[in-house]
Amino acid sequence: MKTMKKTFTSIAAVGALAQLITATPVVAAESFSIKDGELARPTGYREWIYVGTPVTPNDLNNGKAAFPEHHNVYIDPKSWAHWKKTGEFRDGTILMKELVSVGSKAAVSGNGYFQGDYIGLEATIKSKQHFPKEPGHWAYFSFSTPDHKSLTTSAKAFPAASCNACHAGAAADDFVFTQYYPVLRAGKATGEEGTGGKQSKLSPAQPAGK
Ligand code: HEC
C-alpha cells in the first residue's frame, strides 16, 4: 500500500510537471527562428505540406537557369491550415524551396526530367514583426553555397531588390507563385475539398482541358 501511494504521488508529480511544461509556450506558432536578423536553416520541412515542383532545366535556359533546376516547394502546416480556411497567407508563413538537379533524362516510362541531387535551399517568410519594411512583409533567404554541395546553417535576408520584384510583379497570390503550385491552387479557401479526397473536378482552379 505504501509503495502504491508513493507511485501515485510520483505519477501526480510527473503530471504536474507535464502541465507546467505544456503551459509554457514550448511549441512556437512559427516554424522558423530568426535571431539578430539571421534565419536558422529550418529542418524537418520535408514533413510539411508539399505544394509542387516547378522545373526550369538548364538545357531550356541556355545552360544556366536562374534557379536550377527542379524546385520542390513546401509550406509549414499552420500556414497551410490557414490557407485552406481563408485563401490567404497568414503572418508567420514560411515556404521552403528545395533545388534539385536534373539527374536522368530518360526512364523506362519515356524521356523527361528526373530528379537528381539536392543542390540548394531557399526560403521566403512573411512577418510583419521581423520585416516591417519589406514589400508585403515578405523576405527572401538562401542557404545554398556556390559549389551546390552543402548548405549554410543560417542566412540573412536578401535586400528586397534582389528577390522581391519578380515576386511582386508576377506571382498570383500575395508574392507567392501559387499559379505553379497545384496543391495551393486546389486548397485555396476550399477547406477539406482541396486536400485530395472529396473534389470531383481534377483541378478546381484549372479545369481539365483548359
Ligand atoms: C526572375 C524572377 C525571380 C527572381 C529575381 C526571384 N524569384 Fe523566387 N521565384 C520566381 C518564380 C517564377 C517562382 C516559382 C516558379 C519557380 O520556382 O520556378 C519563384 C519561387 C520562389 C520560392 C517559392 C515560394 C514562392 O514564393 O513561390 C522561393 C522561396 C523563392 N522563389 C526564393 C527567391 C529568392 C531567395 C530570390 C532572391 C535570391 C528570388 N526568389 C528571386 C521568380 C523569381
Q: Mean per-residue pLDDT for 48-53? A: 98
Q: What is the DSSP string of 53-64?
A: --B--GGGTTT-
Q: Whose CA is nearest to atom 16 of ligand 1?
A: 54
Residue 35 DSSP SS3: strand
**Each residue of 127-169: pLDDT tens digit?**
999 999 999 999 999 999 999 999 999 999 999 889 999 999 9
Ligand 1 centroid to residue 140 C-alpha, Å: 9
Sorting pLDDT into bands at 50, 70 and 90, what band is 68?
confident
DSSP secondary-structure letter at 159?
P
Ligand 1 atom, smallest distance to 71 CA: 17
Residue 1: the pLDDT is 45
Q: Whose CA is nearest to atom 38 of ligand 1?
A: 163
Q: Mean per-residue pLDDT for 191-202? A: 76
Higher pLDDT, 163 or 15: 163
Global pTM value? 0.86
- Residue 70 Cβ inside 6 Å of ligand 1? The answer reads no
% of the chain at pLDDT higher than 70: 80
Sorting pLDDT into bands at 50, 70 and 90, what band is 201?
low
Residue 147 DSSP SS3: coil
Ligand 1 centroid to residue 122 C-alpha, Å: 9
Q: Which residue is listed with cell 526512364? A: 107
Residue 67: the pLDDT is 87
> Do residues 153 and 41 lie in contact, with contact meaning Cβ atoms separated by under 8 Å?
yes
Residue 31: the pLDDT is 96
Q: Which three cell numbers stand for residue 76?
A: 509549414
Residue 55: the pLDDT is 97
Alpha helices by DSSP H, 71-210 = 77-86, 160-170, 182-187
Residue 40 DSSP SS3: strand
> Do residues 196 and 204 lie in contact, with contact meaning Cβ atoms separated by under 8 Å?
no
Computed over every residue of the chain, the mean pLDDT equals 87
